[in-house]
Copies of this chain bind each other. A is one copy, B any other.
Amino acid sequence: MPRFFIPESPRPGETEISVGGGDALHISKSLRMKKGDKIILARMGEEYHCYIKETSSERVVCEISEIKKALSEPSVRLSLFQAAPKGGKLENIIQKTTELGVSRVVPFISKRCVSRPGGKDEKTRRLRKIAEEAAKQSMRGVIPEISETLSFEEAVAEASEYDMKLICYENGGERLNALNFPAGGSIAVMTGAEGGFERDEAEYAVSRGMTPVWLGERILRCETCPVAVTAVIMNLTGNL
């Protein structure tokens, strides 16, 4: 069933939701949905199961038939802190990890980053669009938050606030299997760009309370690592 995210939750007692903008055009023209068709509108982990009441290319009015908690949301809040990789890899990482259930992606700049994202606003807007599309397609109840790009130190400071904070480090650390993941709560995972982290970066992160994690002898590309780690953590916390 088609699924769209809405920018505001309906107020208690409200029975209709009005969808505007590009989504109205998409629903009425591309999908050619009509009065009586079923649609799911989602926001913040709530799903509003609706029937379409009226369509035009500017506005689609939907009548709420049922409100459900989105079953697809994981029990843990996993934030991926991703050092900015080259080319279109970040887009790809955001798409795949959204499907797998991350709550948030925080790009940051580390020493080995070749890419230094400029023109922040436009780039961030595009990344948010990718997260929204992936969230729709994978039936998420939430669009993952895409943060502005941080410095390495800012990223570590931010990650330190989480219940569990991991940094993937090629030169050694704990195995994911050996960690005790909480059934709920928040987890931060920091992964590198091409070439991973410098030793002093890993040491800095550890000095700030992060746990180094080692993924074994096989060297994963920087765009494979976040996908693999997200899948494994979702599995270990009962969410995949």
Identify the A interface with B (CB < 8 A): 71-72, 95-96, 99-101, 137-140, 175-177, 215-221, 224, 227-229, 231-232, 234-236, 238-240
Once A176-B235, A215-B240, A216-B72 are accepted as A-B contacts, the answer to whether A99 and B221 lie under 8 Å apart by CB is yes
Contacts of A100 in B (CB 8 A): 218, 220, 224, 228
Q: Tell me the bound Cα distance from A137 to B222 in angstroms.
A: 12
Identify whether the interface residues of A are mostly helix, strand, loop, or mixed.
loop
5 A-B pairs with C-beta separation under 8 A: A71-B217, A99-B220, A100-B224, A137-B221, A138-B221
CA distance A240 to B217 in the complex (A): 8
Question: Could you tell me the distance between the alpha carbons of A140 and B138 in the complex, rounded to whole angstroms?
Answer: 32
The reply to whether B239 and A216 form a contact with Cβ atoms under 8 Å apart is yes
A211 to chain B, nearest CB (A): 16
B-chain residues with CB within 8 Å of residue A101 when the two chains form the complex: 218
In angstroms, Cα B218 to Cα A137, docked, is: 9
